[in-house]
Chain A
Amino acid sequence: MSKVLKSIYMPILAVVIAIIIGSIIMLATGFNPVAAYSSLFIGAFGTLPNIANTLANAVPLIITGLGVAIAFNAGLFNIGAEGQYWIGAIVGTWIGYSFKGLPWYIHIPLALVAAMIAGGLWGGIIPGFAKAYTGAHEVITTMMMSYVAIYFSHYLLEFGPMMEKGSVPQSPLIRDSAVIPTIVPNTQLSYGIVIALVAALFVYWLMYKTVWGYEMRAVGFNQRASKYAGMNVPFNIVLSLSLSGIFAGLAGAVQILGVQHRLYDSFTSGYGYTAIVVALLAKNNPIGVVFSALLFAALGTGSQYMQLNAQVPGQLTDVITGLIIFFVAADKIIELFKTMFKKQKKEELAS
């Protein structure tokens, strides 16, 4: 138990410090932090629909965050989860609207699995092989592939084959048989949340209880020692990037099937990037990813409510998000604070 506490202590501290600095900023700009944070909280968790919307927002963050965390666990930085998400969304949408007459229990899994394969190919096979056998850095390749995916979606939707006949660049609606049903009426919370939670448990089990996870983590921490222990390092690089892409792709499809029901033309969903922060804050622990995704989702839904009821600009939550990222990434700074305080204390004792 104390071990769990110890491992979540730094992220929580980062969040707390970010919130405190956020309040100082609010005070400095003339807002009331208590009112702001309480409306933020009510907006995120105050009513059943609000809770549902927060959970709904967390779904793509959880699943994409899992993908990013798998890569991080293997020592790889999948910065292109955004693109894999798009590819998953594109494939999910296409299967969602173009197959007629399938029962839901075939249509939905078909769309999800196809999106996972596409995401895996996009994120894993191509950058994975490039990394494992030519040394091309995955940060570059996944990012480039990400742009390709996003521009590909522009092509498809802007007068391309997936554009709905009409005035606006967007795809047709997916068929009812492909829609993941909503749990709480009048909210966006679909059974996608179940998929997300099962995915988190699965990834936890995979990474910490199986030989594949053992190998991927070993390769992530120390490629040299893994090679010396007889592991196939290139294979594990491809495997972990593929898994990473599979989950990002799944996230895209779940979002289409559960929430959006069609693909909109847009430059970014943002999930792929927020997922990096989600994974970082969770210290790449799959269970931690669920909670960290919930936090960012709550900041998202809560901030809308906060604008409405406390008149605090929604950008404030962006500031808090930024601060959290800063303190998580810079946990060395917090360590520094700690030693500074310790030193002071000692000097006080000495004097």
Chain B
Amino acid sequence: MSALLEVKNITKIFPKVRANDGVNLTVEEGEIHAILGENGAGKSTLMNIIYGLYKPDSGELKLSGETLNLSGPHEAIEKGIGMVHQHFMLIPVLTVAENIVLGAEPGGIPYNKKKANELIREISKNYHLEIDPDAKVKDLSVGLQQRVEILKAFYRHAKLLILDEPTAMLTPQETEELFGIMRRLKEQGISIIFISHKLDEVKEISDKVTVMRRGKTVGTLNTKDTNEQELANLMVGREVVLRVEKSEYKPGDVVLSVKDLTVLDEQNIEKVKNVSFEIRSGEIFGLAGIDGNGQTELIEALMGLRQIKSGIIKYQNSDIEKLPTRERYKLGISYIPQDRQQEGLIMKFSVADNLILKEYKDIRYSKNGVIQYKKVFENASKKVEEYDIRPTDYTLLAGNLSGGNQQKIILAREVGSNPKLLIAVQPTRGMDVGAIEYIHKKLLELRDGGSAILLVSLELEEIMSLSDRIGVIHNGVIMDILDGKSATREKIGLLMAGSQIDAKEVEV
């Protein structure tokens, strides 16, 4: 094996940030090389440099021994570097084939459909990436769309494939499939750079792993010689507790009871169908499911952000389905929405203002319509300290804080009010190891204090490690509610995919 890609001492400085600071990386031919690092560690910057999107301020880039001086992605593609971005760059209304050949059509202007399809069949056969060239991209699952992106790279003769957080949007089964593909590609001599912050995946699929922290590469290890704990410590720069330590499950009274709930989406399609479940105090109820299976509509209905078609929502024994959102907050319900920047925070408000986003009308913070900023700041300085929000200047705009600290603002607001019911949707989405550890700790504290928690997550690992009971939703229906201790990954995975019968069999 010889080095395919060599990155030597690359530095890239943005205003105020050294995004890459003397980065070194060597990727051998036919190797799966994981890049591991927290958000903001410089992974994406590095990849964008390799892909020609950024020019490094100093340092050298070599491909097969030849120095690269890329003027843009087109040149990187020409040299055999392919990249699959986290957010796909596909045009939904075009077919698979059209998407793949877009920009490099066979035959030039008079698009030769037959030839394009032929070429794509050939490539998909060579690389074992089965797909129907005539299918419309919008009809494909996320996993298949990703496959189209990979094919796009190989249509352009990629020797090096960069996968940026490829598993973030996939179900466990799809992830397994992707790993299968990656292994086959490796056998064919393709080198893969695999970017992730998920330790278990890195451990499973990669040959080597390079860990980045604060713009620097802190080490390259042979995957088989290391373990998750070591990787996590390298990533964060300190000892990290990976295992969630959970106290005993002591459920109390029913806090939230949902009965026969049916909810429509904007197109009047039933997104939640006759759903029933209960959550007790002192319990974390995990809702597992693939994105888009009715979770959003269910949560919005619970929060009064969306009208329900039928059913009953009981909170502490009173019907709340007709109450407006604010009234539900007042009853002691808290809500961590999925998209912290669009739904949870006002990015151009200060940290202090964001901390009272739901309670500014409360007697504690305003009198006769006038906000008592002295009280607001008292609250802010208390919360900033308690939840370790950094920087500690609460007059800064929320948008100027890092993602992890933004989430802490929401956490401080929603958890800090000691809710009787917390609805947390993907609370650790996009967070790095250290922040996840912190958020999980807070959720468990709340549970032990007697609150009821509805945890919605696409991360199976998170659901399984935190939940006392797990409901699996598929296509708007709760397929089954499992006991948190005995549920297995496979069983949940199958239920998520909608296969109830198989799941039952596994149970037997």
B346 and A222 contact, CB distance less than 8 A: yes
A214 and B335 contact, CB distance less than 8 A: no
B324 part of interface (Cβ distance < 8 Å): yes
Set B15, B326, B345, B353: member contacting A214, Cβ < 8 A = B353
Minimal Cβ-Cβ distance residue in B for A229: B357
Q: Is the interface of A mostly helix, strand, loop or mixed?
A: helix
A227 part of interface (Cβ distance < 8 Å): yes
A217 part of interface (Cβ distance < 8 Å): yes
A217 and B342 contact, CB distance less than 8 A: no
B375 part of interface (Cβ distance < 8 Å): no
Give per-residue flags for A221-236: 1 if the beta carbon is below 8 A from chain B beta carbons, else 0.
1101111111100000
Complex interface residues of chain A between 1 and 40 (CB less than 8 A to chain B): 3
Minimal Cβ-Cβ distance residue in B for A205: B370
Bound-complex Cα distance A35 to B325 (A): 63
B349 part of interface (Cβ distance < 8 Å): yes
B347 and A228 contact, CB distance less than 8 A: no
B326 and A218 contact, CB distance less than 8 A: no
Give per-residue flags for B321-357: 1 if the beta carbon is below 8 A from chain A beta carbons, else 0.
0001110110000010100001111111100010001
**Known contacts A221-B347, A229-B357: A214-B371 contact under CB 8 Å:** yes
Give the interface centre of B324, B357, B366 by most chain A CB atoms within 10 Å: B357
Nearest Cβ in chain B — how far from A211, in angstroms?
5
Q: With a CB–CB cut-off of 8 A, which chain B residues contact A224? A: 342-343
Q: With a CB–CB cut-off of 8 A, which chain B residues contact A215? A: 360
Set A209, A211, A222, A230: member contacting B324, Cβ < 8 A = A230
Bound-complex Cα distance A226 to B305 (A): 11
* Total of A-B residue pairs, C-beta within 8 Å: 63
How many residues on chain B are close to A (CB under 8 Å)? 29
B107 part of interface (Cβ distance < 8 Å): no
Set B328, B329, B347, B395: member contacting A222, Cβ < 8 A = B347
Bound-complex Cα distance A224 to B348 (A): 14
Q: With a CB–CB cut-off of 8 A, which chain B residues contact A339? A: 15
A47 part of interface (Cβ distance < 8 Å): no
Minimal Cβ-Cβ distance residue in A for B326: A230
Bound-complex Cα distance A104 to B329 (A): 50
Q: With a CB–CB cut-off of 8 A, which chain A residues contact B346? A: 217-218, 221-222, 225-226
Nearest Cβ in chain B — how far from A81, in angstroms?
23
**Known contacts A210-B369, A211-B366, A218-B357: A230-B344 contact under CB 8 Å:** no
Chain A, interface residues (CB within 8 Å), range:
20 to 34
B348 and A221 contact, CB distance less than 8 A: yes
A342 part of interface (Cβ distance < 8 Å): yes
B371 and A209 contact, CB distance less than 8 A: yes
Bound-complex Cα distance A209 to B367 (A): 11
Bound-complex Cα distance A210 to B365 (A): 10
Give per-residue flags for A183-223: 1 if the beta carbon is below 8 A from chain B beta carbons, else 0.
00000000000000000000000000111101101100110
A225 and B343 contact, CB distance less than 8 A: yes
**Known contacts A209-B373, A211-B360, A339-B15: A230-B337 contact under CB 8 Å:** no
Bound-complex Cα distance A209 to B375 (A): 13
Nearest Cβ in chain B — how far from A225, in angstroms?
5
B329 and A230 contact, CB distance less than 8 A: yes
B358 part of interface (Cβ distance < 8 Å): yes
Bound-complex Cα distance A230 to B325 (A): 5
**Known contacts A211-B361, A211-B366: A225-B342 contact under CB 8 Å:** yes
Q: With a CB–CB cut-off of 8 A, which chain B residues contact A225? A: 342-346, 357
**Known contacts A218-B357, A230-B358: A211-B371 contact under CB 8 Å:** yes
Nearest Cβ in chain A — how far from B342, in angstroms?
5
**Known contacts A209-B370, A342-B15: A229-B358 contact under CB 8 Å:** yes
**Known contacts A221-B348, A221-B349, A230-B329: A210-B370 contact under CB 8 Å:** yes
Minimal Cβ-Cβ distance residue in A for B327: A230
14 contacts between A and B (CB under 8 A): A3-B395, A209-B370, A209-B371, A214-B353, A215-B360, A218-B349, A221-B348, A222-B346, A225-B344, A228-B337, A228-B343, A230-B326, A230-B329, A342-B15
Enumerate the 9 nearest inter-chain pairs by beta-carbon distance, A residue then B residue, closest first: A230-B326, A230-B325, A221-B348, A229-B357, A228-B343, A221-B346, A222-B346, A210-B369, A229-B358
